[in-house]
Amino acid sequence: MRKLRFHPTEPLVMLATIVQWLVLATAVGALVGTACSLFLGLLFLSEGRLYGAPLWLLALVLPLGGLANGLLLHYGYRIGASNLKDEPIAAVNEQAGRMPFKTLWVKPVAALVTLGCGGSAGKEGPCSHVGAGIAAGVGQALRLNGELRKRLVACGVSAGFASVFGTPIAGAIYGVEMLAIGRIRHDFLFPGIVAGVTAFVVSRWWGVPYPEFEISFDARFTQVLFLKTVLVGVLCGLAALCFVELRNGVRAVFTHLQQRLALWPPLLPVIGGVLLVLLLVWVPTDYLGLSLPMMDRALQGESMPALGFLWKALLVAVTLGSGFYGGIVTPQFVIGAVTGSACAPLLGLEPAQGAAVGLVAVVAAASNTPIAAVLMGVELFGAGSIWYVSGACVAAFLMIGHRSVYPAQHLAYAKSAWIVARPDLPVGQEKVQLSYGMLRWWGDNLRRFRRWHEARKQGRPPGGG
């Protein structure tokens, strides 16, 4: 009989770990919550002023905003040149929790310019970037080792998301889950939750407003209703797939254009601004900026156009693909709410219910964060929504395949046993393919079907001689 091994110092070490992260993560959460509150305050003063602007004004503002954005990103990074990547995911996965600190201000200012001039993007990107940068700076100042710095950077990302969306638990899980598809670092969870809750409380203390949604979900859950929400998730997964491919395609076109014509990099967002103006001849200006009023209308039960998700995805793809800077999660909210609202009546669901389910389902798909998306649904729409959002989020997560809005996101495990992929490579570099066993299974069944069909044509019993 095996003896249970127990060392008396283990509980003390675990207690010390809890205390350590209560101190470190609380400090980081407070700093990040304060910094994000300052950013959001400036954003609320500038964003949303151009929803009803005439086309001639947008034709001036968008290209000028593109030029300002391009100059800022081009020269801002020359001031504090570094060999470190300026991305939170890369900081955790590749750089042992290090980020360039001197350029921390560049992306938040660029985001204010992007959203202030009407570019279609999100607000969480700058906050997660600021959170990761502050956390990396704290880790380096305290001379922590690489593993602790990585946990601290993940704390900063979680705190940034929690501060923006007012969903501390979902924000904490998102900051951990986004690092890799199919794998969650459980040792990151406690620090992330502490930092997320702290950042949310601090931001609320600073006066950051958070929306409250009242959407009624029937407590009597049935299998038919569950299948309907799964179908909403499938459709939202396809909408997310369209969004990711559009953004990647536009980015590839602008990269090719720059290389082919040897264009000065700051000119690319100027071209993007001109293209946005041309698109606004057909696309309503409601899809500019954050587009939060449109999301709110969808969640209030207002019917949404069937192609609304495409217009938002296209404007975001041109904005970010051409070189403007902004977040990528808020557009997922809008795309999901519009998609869910548009398809809900076809499935016998209330438009507001479809919008709520779709909002989190697109986040689960495009960001590959189904657990965070389910928790986000609970925090935003109440515990009664969990049956509705869970199936939709996982279905959307599977439907998008091995794509992501984060090219640096690692692929830890394939989403299907029928898919083969080399683990722990960034999604943008990984090549997935059908497994040999799957191909053989299809071949064997195809041959059986052919033999059966021939036997039937010749009047022989299937399987007989």
Domain range holding 450? 441-465
In a domain, 126, yes or no: yes
In a domain, 165, yes or no: yes
Domain count, the chain: 3
**Rounded to an integer, what distance in angstroms lies between the CA atom of residue 133 and that of residue 413?**
28
Residue matched to tokens 């700076």: 137
Contact 133, 105 (CB under 8 A): no
End residue of a domain, out of 391, 411, 431: 411
Helices (H) and strands (E) in the chain, counts: 17, 5
Q: 256 and 386: one domain? A: yes
**pTM for the whole structure:** 0.88
383 and 458 inside one domain: no
Q: How far is CA 442 from CA 89, 399, 448, in A?
A: 38, 21, 10
* Spatial separation of the C-alpha atoms in residues 98 and 373, rounded to whole Å: 28
Q: Is residue 328 part of a domain?
A: yes
Same domain, 366 and 448: no
- Do residue 305 and residue 344 come from a single domain? yes
> Do 230 and 316 have their domain in common?
yes
Residue 110: CATH number of its domain: 1.10.3080.10
Clarify whether residues 270 and 147 are in a common domain. Answer: no
Q: How are beta strands 410-411 and 425-426 bridged, if at all?
A: antiparallel
SS3 assignment, position 307: coil
Rounded CA-CA distance 168/184 in Å is: 17
Same domain, 272 and 369: yes
Residues 99-132 have pLDDT tens digits of 888 888 999 999 999 999 999 999 988 999 999 9
Residue 52 resides in a domain: yes
Q: Report if residue 167 sits inside a domain.
A: yes
In a domain, 386, yes or no: yes
Assigned domain for 193 exists: yes
155 lies in some domain: yes
Give yes or no: residues 129 and 230 share one domain: no
pLDDT at 14 over 90: no
Under DSSP, the state recorded for 4 is P
Asked whether residue 96 carries a pLDDT value surpassing 90, the answer given is no
Which tens digits make up the pLDDT trace of 41-87?
999 888 877 777 889 999 999 999 999 999 999 888 777 667 777 88
**Side-chain half-sphere of 180: how many Cα atoms within 13 Å?**
18
- Stronger pLDDT, 215 or 129, i.e. the higher one: 129
CB 33 within 8 A of CB 201: yes
d(C-alpha 163, C-alpha 108), whole Å: 15
At residue 366, what is the residue type? A
Using CA atoms, how far apart are residues 113 and 426, in angstroms rounded to an integer? Answer: 30
